[in-house]
Amino acid sequence: MRRYEAIEEITKELKGDELVISANGKISRELFSIRDSACNFYMLGSMGLASSIGFGLSLSLPYKRVVVLDGDGNLLMNLGSLATIGHFAPSNLLHFLLDNEMHASTGGQRTVSSKVRLEEIARAVGYKTVKKVSSVQELRTVVSEILGSDSEREGPSFVLAKIESGEREVPRVSHEPQFIKKRFLTNLSNFTVT
């Protein structure tokens, strides 16, 4: 399974009003190519912060589902965010880790994710639902189970998707950072508490 395929599978189950925070680099580019939305916040330069931003939003907006699309290089840059998320346990946070064991956006340098069981760290720090998948079919099943449920889940949820190296050629996110921020914040102001 390639990263693009994984992002496609995840976004197929989105209803359209979930907040999606994507890690910088290829993850944001591919999400932008698949499904640009005012509900998406694309990280365009700050490595490792998608999980922290998603966490903050999940606490601020407990009635909204928050989906984080993270990469192994990004998560390893801010591993402490897992412990914080696990401690506060926001039930509306769905954390997808797309693990290709490399920093794809900066030239393919290897990460240590092949030696570190990130899903076990997530479980140990308090994520309530933890899954590991390595095929499109496995991901489809887990995504449907987690995102397709209308009932309240015990959360947060963490899904580690092992992905192959390589990517589809997609353009950079064409929106300027100021536009991304303004559009996202404007979209947030439209939400009502349910």
Residue range 8-28, pLDDT digits in tens: 999 999 999 999 999 998 999
CATH number of the domain residue 57 falls in: 3.40.50.970
What is the domain count for the chain?
1
Domain containing residue 90: 3-189
List of residues 6+ apart from 161 with CB closer than 8 A = 1, 6, 96, 97, 98, 99, 132, 133, 134, 139
**pTM flag (> 0.95):** no
Burial (CB < 10 A; 0-12, 13-18, 19+), residue 152, is exposed
Residue range 82-127, pLDDT digits in tens: 999 999 999 999 999 999 876 766 656 777 788 899 999 999 999 9
* More confidently predicted of 15 and 168: 15
Q: Indicate whether 138 pLDDT > 70.
A: yes
* Per-residue pLDDT at 165: 83
The verdict on residue 194 lying in a domain is: no
